[in-house]
C-alpha cells in the first residue's frame, strides 16, 4: 500500500518504521525542516522515553480505557526491545523513568530516522499538509501547492501543545473534515498563573512541598514534589502533576486554589512548637533573618508581605496571633490560580479526536476506511514521567502494524 503519514514526530516515526517493515511504501510529511523536533526538547533534552510503572491508570481522556489494548501490545518490555533492536540502550532514572543511555534525546531521533531510511521510508520535510480529501478509496493530500494520492493516511500530527516545535493542531481540523468528533483540547502538564500579590518576591525559589488543588472549594488532588516559584505563578513537577485538573477548572470557569505545605515533613503542631521555641532565641534578629533559618530568604520575604508583617523590626515583636498566621502560611499557603501558561508552554494537550470513533485494536477510523490516528492527536494524555512518549511510540507501533492491503 501507498501510505502517507502526516507528522514526523514520535508517533509518526515509529509508525513509519513498522509500516515499512510490513512492506508498505511510506511517505512521511513533516512541516518542520527537521524530523522529531519535539522529541529533542523532551525530558530537558534527555528524552524520558517511557516508564517502568506503565499502567492504564496513568492515562486520561473521556474514554481512557482505550489505552489498555495498546499498552498490552506495546508494554515497557516491547518498548525496550523495539529501541534495543534499533541499537539504543536505555537507563533507569528516578520513579521508573526510562532514558536513552546516551543521556541525549538526539540519539533517539537519529536512530529512528536511520532505521526508517534503511527501510526505504521517504521523508518530505518542509512539507506542511494543508488539506486532505477523501477521493473514492484514496486520500488526496495537498502539500506545497501539489496534490498526491495515497491508499492509507495516518494522522500523526500531534496536538496544539508547544506550537513552536511544530504541532499546530492541524490534525484536529483534518479529523473534523473527515467526519470525526474532536473533544475540545486544553493545555495540560503546564505551569500555573497566579495573581497573588507579592508572589514574584519568591521568584526562583524551588522547594519540595506538599501540594493540594482545590476546585470550587473541594480538594481534587494531592501530590508532593518540586514547586518552583516564578514571576507569573508556579511551576515544577508537582505543579505539572496537578495542572490537568487546574487547567480543566479554568476552562470550566471554576475557581481554583493551590494550597502548599512548605514544610511537608513537619506536622502543624511541630511547626507551631518550632516557631515558638525559635522565638526564645530570636534576639534582635530581623523577621526575615529569623525565617531564613527554616525557609529560603526569598520565600521568607514573600510570607512576610503576604501576612503584612513588613512593619516588624524584629522577630521577637511577633504577636501570638501573627505567629499563628505565619505557621498557617507555612503549612497551608493558599494561592489563587488565575489560569495556565497556555498551549504555548504546555507539554501536552487533553482532548483531541474522540477515541470512541477509532477502533481500539487497529487505531483505524470507524468512519473512514484506511484512515488511522496515532499519538497526541487522540483524546488521550498521560501523566508526567515518560507516559506520553510511550503512548506516542505505542500507538504509532500499533498503526504501523495494522495497515493492511
Ligand X SMILES: Cc1cc2nc3c(=O)[nH]c(=O)nc-3n(C[C@H](O)[C@H](O)[C@H](O)COP(=O)(O)OP(=O)(O)OC[C@H]3O[C@@H](n4cnc5c(N)ncnc54)[C@H](O)[C@@H]3O)c2cc1C
- Give phi and psi for 60, each to the nearest 5: -135, 165
- Interaction residues for ligand X, span 38-97 (CB under 6 A): 38, 41-43, 48
Element (H, E) at 240: helix 237-251
On whether the CB atoms of residues 288 and 304 are closer than 8 A, the answer is yes
Residue 239 found at the interface with ligand X (CB under 6 A): no
- What is the contact mask toward ligand X in residues 97 to 136, using x (rule: CB under 6 A)? -------------------------------xx-------
On whether the CB atoms of residues 169 and 353 are closer than 8 A, the answer is no
Give min distance, CB of 130 to ligand X, in A: 7
With contacts defined by CB under 6 A, name the span among 33-41, 56-64, 78-86, 326-334 that binds ligand X: 33-41
Among residues 6, 205, 358, 399, the one that binds ligand X under rule CB under 6 A: 6
Give min distance, CB of 363 to ligand X, in A: 12
Residue 8 found at the interface with ligand X (CB under 6 A): yes
Among residues 156, 209, 315, 363, the one that binds ligand X under rule CB under 6 A: 156
> Judged by CB, which is closer to ligand X: 34, or 324?
34
Nearest residue by C-beta to ligand X?
A: 9
Residues 277 and 8: their CA atoms lie apart, in Å, by 61
Residues 360 and 67: their CA atoms lie apart, in Å, by 8
- Report how many residues bind ligand X under the rule CB under 6 A: 37
Residue 157 found at the interface with ligand X (CB under 6 A): yes
Residue 244 found at the interface with ligand X (CB under 6 A): no
Among residues 61, 100, 158, 351, the one that binds ligand X under rule CB under 6 A: 158
Residues sharing a CB contact under 8 Å with residue 11, sequence separation 6 or more, in sequence order? 156, 158, 374, 375, 376, 392, 393, 395, 396, 399
Q: Which of 152, 335, 328, 147 is nearest to 230 (CA)?
A: 335
> Judged by CB, which is closer to ligand X: 141, or 250?
141
Residues 222 and 244: their CA atoms lie apart, in Å, by 13
Among residues 376, 380, 383, 394, the one that binds ligand X under rule CB under 6 A: 376
Classify 177 in phi/psi space as left (phi over 0), alpha (psi -120 to 50) or beta.
Answer: alpha
Give the DSSP letter of residue 358: B
Name the site residues for ligand X (rule: CB under 6 A): 6-12, 29-32, 37-38, 41-43, 48, 128-129, 156-158, 161-162, 166-168, 170, 347-348, 375-376, 386-389, 392
Amino acid at each position: 500500500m501507498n501510505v502517507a503519514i502526516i507528522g514526523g514526530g514520535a508517533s509518526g516515526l515509529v509508525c513509519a518504521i513498522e509500516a515499512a517493515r510490513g512492506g508498505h511504501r511510506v511517505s512521511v510529511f513533516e512541516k518542520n525542516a527537521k524530523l522529531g523536533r519535539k522529541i529533542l526538547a523532551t525530558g530537558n533534552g534527555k528524552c524520558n522515553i517511557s516508564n517502568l510503572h506503565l499502567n492504564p491508570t496513568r492515562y486520561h481522556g473521556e474514554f481512557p480505557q482505550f489505552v489498555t489494548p495498546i499498552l498490552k501490545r506495546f508494554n515497557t518490555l516491547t518498548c525496550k526491545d523495539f529501541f534495543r533492536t534499533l541499537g539504543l540502550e536505555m537507563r533507569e532514572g528516578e520513579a521508573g523513568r526510562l532514558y536513552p543511555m546516551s543521556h541525549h534525546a538526539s540519539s533517539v531521533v537519529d536512530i529512528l530516522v536511520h532505521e526508517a531510511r534503511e527501510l526505504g521510508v521517504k521523508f518530505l520535510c518542509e512539507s506542511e499538509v494543508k488539506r486532505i480529501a477523501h477521493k473514492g478509496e484514496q486520500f488526496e493530500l495537498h502539500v506545497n501547492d501539489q496534490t498526491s494520492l495515497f491508499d492509507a493516511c495516518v494522522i500523526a500530527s500531534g496536538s496544539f501543545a508547544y506550537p513552536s516545535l511544530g504541532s499546530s493542531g492541524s490534525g484536529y481540523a483534518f479529523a473534523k473534515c473527515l467526519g470525526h468528533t474532536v473533544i475540545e483540547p486544553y493545555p495540560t502538564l503546564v505551569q500555573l498563573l497566579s495573581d497573588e500579590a507579592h508572589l514574584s518576591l519568591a521568584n526562583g525559589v524551588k522547594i519540595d512541598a506538599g501540594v493540594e488543588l482545590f476546585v470550587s472549594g473541594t480538594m481534587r488532588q494531592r501530590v508532593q514534589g518540586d514547586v518552583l516559584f516564578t514571576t507569573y505563578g508556579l511551576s515544577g513537577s508537582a505543579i505539572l502533576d496537578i495542572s490537568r485538573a487546574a487547567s480543566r477548572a479554568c476552562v470550566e470557569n471554576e475557581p481554583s486554589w493551590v494550597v502548599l505545605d512548605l514544610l511537608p515533613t513537619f506536622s502543624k503542631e511541630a511547626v507551631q512548637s518550632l516557631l515558638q521555641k525559635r522565638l526564645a532565641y530570636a534576639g534582635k534578629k530581623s523577621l526575615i533573618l529569623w525565617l531564613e533559618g527554616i525557609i529560603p530568604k526569598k520565600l521568607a520575604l514573600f510570607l512576610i508581605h503576604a501576612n503584612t508583617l513588613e512593619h516588624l523590626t524584629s522577630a521577637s515583636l511577633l504577636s501570638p496571633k501573627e505567629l499563628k498566621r505565619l505557621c498557617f502560611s507555612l503549612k497551608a499557603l493558599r494561592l489563587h490560580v488565575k489560569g495556565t501558561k497556555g498551549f504555548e508552554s504546555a507539554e501536552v494537550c487533553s482532548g483531541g479526536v474522540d477515541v470512541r470513533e477509532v477502533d481500539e485494536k487497529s487505531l483505524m477510523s470507524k468512519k473512514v476506511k484506511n484512515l488511522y490516528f496515532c499519538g497526541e492527536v487522540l483524546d488521550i494524555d498521560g501523566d508526567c514521567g515518560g507516559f506520553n512518549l510511550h503512548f506516542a511510540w505505542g500507538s504509532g507501533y500499533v498503526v504501523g502494524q495494522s495497515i493492511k492491503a
